[in-house]
Amino acid sequence: MQSNTEAFYQEQLKRVTNEFEDFVYIVSHDLKAPIRAINNLSVWIEEDLGDNIPEDVKDNLRLLRDRTERMEKMMNAILQLSRVGRYDLDIKPVDLGQILDEIKAANTAEHVSIHIHQDAHNQLFNTYFKKFKTVIEELVKNAVIHNDKEAVEITITLHYPENNLAEILVSDNGSGISAQALDKVFDIFYTGKSKDRHNTVGAGLAISKKIIDFIGGSITLESSENSGTKFLIKWPASTN
């Protein structure tokens, strides 16, 4: 009897979760159409007014478009968040170190240096490799955005202390996170500084956290203001 009730509630939970994800998908998708229309109309107004537009009107039109673009980015982030449980679900044996090397190679910003240390060279792990890449990319992006130094230093350490769990430490020399903000950084759309100053909507860490929860890992962080940030990830990955 007990297990029947449990199965019933499990089924309910699954149904409600699916409904919720469908809802988020449809809403964020359909809301994009009016945003696009507002953006287009503002371009047309500017075009139709011709060459004699006062500077302050131009500024306002630019701000209007800037905000519609931000809103679209936010919609895309919600979409991405709602898709964590149903996209990039392929599991295959991969060399996690190689994925880190690829991320390092893709970094073309001259002021950013990525250092990689690993004790699991050429070892193959069965895991959600696409999700792994997304999470590390988001953490690197985060480290670059929240950095006030001229030279951005990011260190990624891949360690494999026990079976079925890889540890990844991502640390940076950035501006750090204040004690009050520590428990907010994984909230969707939370940004440490104004969204005007950094070109971000504050979704990367929320998406990373959702991915890590989904695969049954964990993410913790250590930081204080002006002393950089360290993220420690425990990532389920088996070698057989």
Partner 1 sequence: MIQKVLNVLLVEDDEVDIMNVQRAFKKNNITNPLFIARNGLEALEMLQNGKVPMPQIIILDINMPKMNGIEFLKELRNDANLKHISVFVMTTSNEDSDKINAYNLNIAGYILKPLSFEKFITSVATLNSYWQLCEPPTTT
CB of 229 to partner 1, least distance (A): 32
One residue of 40, 178, 224, 227 binding partner 1 per CB under 8 A? 40
Q: Which residues contact 225 (CB under 8 A, 6 or more apart)?
A: 175, 176, 177, 178
Compose the 66-85 pattern: x for residues touching partner 1 by CB under 8 A, - for all others.
Answer: --xx--x-------------
Q: Which is nearer to partner 1, 68 or 118 (CB)?
A: 68
Told to check if 49 binds partner 1 by CB under 8 A, we report no
Q: Which is nearer to partner 1, 13 or 26 (CB)?
A: 26
One residue of 16, 27, 43, 89 binding partner 1 per CB under 8 A? 43
One residue of 32, 70, 130, 133 binding partner 1 per CB under 8 A? 32
CB of 53 to partner 1, least distance (A): 17
Told to check if 134 binds partner 1 by CB under 8 A, we report no
One residue of 21, 24, 35, 113 binding partner 1 per CB under 8 A? 35
One residue of 9, 23, 44, 189 binding partner 1 per CB under 8 A? 44
CB of 29 to partner 1, least distance (A): 7
CB of 49 to partner 1, least distance (A): 15
Told to check if 33 binds partner 1 by CB under 8 A, we report yes
Told to check if 29 binds partner 1 by CB under 8 A, we report yes
One residue of 39, 173, 223, 229 binding partner 1 per CB under 8 A? 39
CB of 72 to partner 1, least distance (A): 5
Q: Are 132 and 99 in contact (CB under 8 A)?
A: yes
The Cα–Cα gap between 91 and 101 comes to 20
- Tokens for 129, please give them: 């490799």
First to last CA, the chain: 38
Binding-residue total with partner 1 (CB under 8 A): 15
Count of residues in the chain: 240
CA nearest 101: which of 118, 126, 78?
Answer: 118
Burial 154-191 (b: 16+ CB within 10 A, else e): bbbbbebeeeebbbbebbbbbbbbeeeeeeebbebeeb
Alpha helices per DSSP H over the chain: 2-30, 32-49, 55-82, 96-106, 129-145, 204-215
Q: Which is nearer to partner 1, 35 or 165 (CB)?
A: 35
C-alpha angle with apex 56: 54 to 59, nearest 5 degrees? Answer: 115
CA nearest 224: which of 181, 191, 187?
Answer: 181
The Cα–Cα gap between 111 and 54 comes to 38
**Interface with partner 1 by CB under 8 A: which residues?**
29-30, 32-33, 35-37, 39-41, 43-44, 68-69, 72
